[in-house]
Structure 1
Amino acid sequence: MKKIPVTAVFDIGKTNKKFFLFDENLKEVHNTYTRMDAVPDEDGFPSEPVLPLREWMLETFTEALKSEKFEIKKLNFSGHGASFVHTDEVGEPVTPLYDYLKPFPEDLLKKFYTENGGKMAFCQQTSSPPLAMLNSGLQIYFLKHAKPEFFKNVRHCLHLPQFLSLIFTGEMVSDYTSIGCHTGLWDFEKMGYHEWVKREGIEPLLPPILPGDALLTTKPELGSIPCGIGVHDSSGALLPYLKQEKEPFALLSTGTWAISINPFNKTALSESELTKDCLQFLSISGQPIKISRLFIGEEHKYQVEEMYAFWQLPLGTYKKLKFDQTLYEKVSEKDTKRIGFKYLKPQDYGLERADASDWASFPEFTEAYYTFLHELTDIQVASLRLVLDGALVKKLYVDGGFNANLIFLEMLRKKLPGLEIIPSDFPNGSALGAAMLVNMES
């Protein structure tokens, strides 16, 4: 029986570690996944279990190579951002993979910004909101100054997707999509590493940069197969849309975070935009892409749980609601805001805020939920405008969890009448994007 030629992709998220096989039409034909418990770093804070992850990946891939049904022709990787693996000369990790939620020492952070012209000036130059450990380049600064006993053993610093590629190829490289992901490493004005990277002697630790569609080769014992250099997961998820769509568009990728991405917006960031969690990514070829972020998934979860508790309703109640024009008009006529947000800050976008949600002031759940979504979409529209203004598009794709929320989508249509809003989904979009990268026609 003739084997089916496939592209293999490891998609490594913080929660799920997945392995996919895609056929020649890039249709998924196989997947498997695992979850791994975090391991404490030297301070007792959870960190990514890098060595067990490497073991699982090698076992999974070796098993797939033996398949009687599939023949692996290409391999690539997608991984979560804000993560560095620090290795010795031969690529063995010499520190934990620090979690981006780990606290950053305040005095050290203050020292860093003082050395680099002040917080907001630095953030503008690097298109990175001030996010402490989430600015992954600062993790190297933290290591050098707070953990010198570890830092002295570091010879290479690899972003997670490129460390995954190293496991299979033995080659150390960097890529634009990880460097450009709010790392604080890249000077978007000069389009090169920021001066601090050179001044601190960190640049020699960063491997050479290759374009995102570059191909290496797996080690002989792993088949000598063409292998990609890995891609930052958010950038990977954008690629299927770029391939499908011929006209300029924007993407609202929703989940825990709503990420507004306009691949056609190259405008520089203002200080005001940075304070609203607006930043720039780098594309696979090193071009800037404007994005903004909003913590709407977690906000929605919190507020809905509060409403369910107040009205003693079963889980999933909101999913049964349909869009009602009359009710929408009723809640949008209210002059004062009525929802007290837990995570979002309407005032950052020039919007009025309520101190707390008084559920007793609503006659029933549906009106309360409509009011919440009305005020939530006001903030979402403000966040979207940060990437839409300056590079108008006619289409907005919405993928992820909120693409099935008909009320959310319809409210966006009412508030953005010039845009065609299209619910869409490429299942496992970041893995599919990684597969596309190694199958691009040269």
Structure 2
Amino acid sequence: MSKPVIAIFDVGKTNKKLFLIDEEYNIVFERAARFIETEDEDGEPCENLDSLISSVHDSLAQVMQMNEFEIKAINFSTYGASFVYLDENGEPLTPLYNYLKAYPEDLQKEFYAKYGGEEKVSLETASPVLGSLNSGLQLYRIKKERPELYSKIKYALHLPQYLSYLITNKAVADITSIGCHTHLWDFTKNQYHQWVIDEGLVEKFGEFTPGDSSSVSEYKGEKFNVGVGLHDSSAALIPYLANFNTPFVLLSTGTWCIALNPFNQEPLTAEQLKKDCLCYMHFKGKAVKASRIFAGNEHEQQLKRIAEHYDRAAYLFKHLKFNPGLFLKLSTKVLENANPQTEFMAVSAFASRDLSLFKTAEEAYHQLIFDLVKQQTYSLKLILNEGVKRIFVDGGFGKNAIYMHLLSIAFPHIEVYASSVSQATAIGTALAINDVWNTNPVPTDIIQLKYYSAIQRTL
């Protein structure tokens, strides 16, 4: 008998994956692909859209032919801030531009001058000024710089919704994409921002559709429930929302360390925006207050510096155990260790530290992690509110014992856990439409937790 599954396309910047997930949320099949980037008309690197389209069709055709699985539904999650522009026949009109593409300074100044200034727009849209990462400004740019192209655009679909369109032929907009640092959504009015309406952009976005909705679509002679697609950061939060009711913050650690608080709906302040806070939207349409620091990148850069200075292999540091005695010694060498951080820092203090101060590589590494945790503590406090009982740390730093011990010491009144969900984004994307493909209750063991206890904290 065929096993009922959902097919999830999880498209990252580097890896493009297809997962089949069964009713108990086990991943029973995985296929991964990587594509060589292509270039846009300005010679700048961008996603190979043709390869991505072919991969979706080819990999779906492959799993449809596997007799051991019965595909009940399909859904998609991808990176954000990226539009596919379609003509009236549903064909892409442009390359899939990179969200890191430089934004014209004059046009940016003109936009903010026209609509009330950077602070006003940022506060209303709950996003810092980020250039092309404010994806609404990408479409605004086309309208102003290439009006002939703009007139041919029938739909501008964020990437998750475009992949859904490939199967359903339905053009939709989803709140997790529209609401994430796009400048498109007015968080104070819970609707498209007035500038989007004034510029006539709304008609290009397709029908506004809840993130947990799906439609029955026929593809190659078979019918499936197909989701509308989700922004990957919002999708990764869903397993936690499904398993925990007690207010929590999820600290997702990688190149960026992003703290997500789905239980804080207070409007962002101008001060928080200056310190790189923003709001995401979760799939039920609620604001998720977030703060972020570039700590994973900083860790890699400083780790290289330590490894070179002490002639050690960098990989050896990542599995060091927490040494409380060594940590106490550092308080006499680095005087500010005794003082909590009182100001926002874009980079950790370690970048300017003289390595000759430290006797061993382990000592230097403990100080690096302490400096990163001080920076992270400040960033977390920007979005913490009363009632938050737990901090879940997933990603790389969740596996770093020194980091986890120091973070738990920094928050003595909050339970701190290292957490992991195998393929959290894909699992969350499946959970978003669980009811249309799965007759079983949502499992309670999707998330693995390691608690850093009070005994450990006092060491």
* C-alpha displacement of 1:327: 1.8
Inter-CA distance 371–355: structure 2 relative to 1 (3 Å threshold): closer
**Counterpart for residue 38 of structure 2:** 39
CA contact (8 A) 1:113 1:119 kept: yes
One-letter amino acid of the counterpart of residue 395, structure 2: G
CA gap 1:424/1:353 in 2 versus in 1, 3 angstroms: closer
Residue 353 of structure 2 corresponds to which residue in structure 1?
357
1:207 corresponds to: 206
Residue 138 (structure 2) aligns with? 139
Which residue of the other structure, out of 379, 397, 404, is the alignment partner of 1:402?
A: 397
Residues 346 and 232 from structure 1, CA distance in 2 versus in 1: closer, same or farther, beyond 3 angstroms?
A: farther
Structural RMSD (CA): 2.0
1:371 and 2:372 are equivalent in the alignment: no
Task: Check the 8 A contact 1:265/1:391 in 2, yes or no.
Answer: no
How far residue 234 of structure 1 moved from its aligned partner, in angstroms, is 0.7
Q: CA deviation at 1:352?
A: 9.1
DSSP 3-state at the match of 1:268 = coil
Contact 2:283 / 2:432 at 8 angstroms: preserved in 1?
A: no
Cα drift, residue 208 of structure 1: 1.4
Identity of matched residues, % = 41
Hey, what does 1:416 align to over in structure 2? 411
The TM-score normalised by the length of structure 2 is 0.91
Provide the secondary structure at the position in 2 that maps to 1:96. coil
Check the 8 A contact 1:252/1:399 in 2, yes or no.
Answer: yes
SS at match of 1:240: helix
Match of 2:226 in 1: 227
Please list every run of 5 or more consecutive structure 2 residues that lacks an aligned counterpart in the other structure.
Answer: 440-459
Aligned length: 434
- Residue 222 of structure 1: how far off its partner (Å): 5.4
Render the CA deviation track for 1:330-381: whole Å, top value 9, x for unaligned: 32453248xxxxxxx9953599957723212221111111111111101101
Amino acid at match of 2:353: S
1:36-435 equivalence runs, <5 A: 36-221=35-220, 223-332=222-331, 334-336=334-336, 348-349=344-345, 353=349, 356-388=352-384, 390-435=385-430
> In the alignment, is the contact (CA less than 8 A) between 2:8 and 2:426 conserved in 1?
yes
Structure 1: any 5+ residue segments left out of the alignment? 338-344
Q: Displacement of 1:147 after TM fit? A: 2.9
Q: Is the 8 A contact 1:168 1:222 kept in 2?
A: no
The alpha carbon displacement at 1:402 in A equals 1.0
Say if 1:346 and 1:352, in contact at 8 Å, map to a contact too.
no
1:311 and 1:353 map into 2 onto residues whose CA distance is 20
Query: What's 1:340 paired with?
Result: none
CA contact (8 A) 2:349 2:371 kept: no
Partners of 1:423 and 1:121 lie apart in 2 by 38
Q: What is the distance in 2 between the residues matched to 1:391 and 1:14?
A: 36
Residues 6 and 23, structure 1, Cα contact 8 Å, conserved in 2? yes
- What is the alpha-carbon distance in structure 1 between the residues aligned to residue 394 and residue 157 of structure 2? 30
**Contact map agreement 1:262 1:289 (CA 8 A) in 2:** yes
**One-letter code aligned to 1:214:** S
Aligned partners of 1:170 and 1:219 also within 8 Å = no
1:355/1:324 Cα in 2 relative to 1: closer, same or farther (>3 Å)? Answer: closer
Query: TM-score, normalising length from structure 1?
Result: 0.94
Secondary structure at 1:30's aligned position in 2?
Answer: strand
8 Å Cα contact 1:62-1:222 kept in structure 2: no
Give the Å deviation of 1:137.
0.8
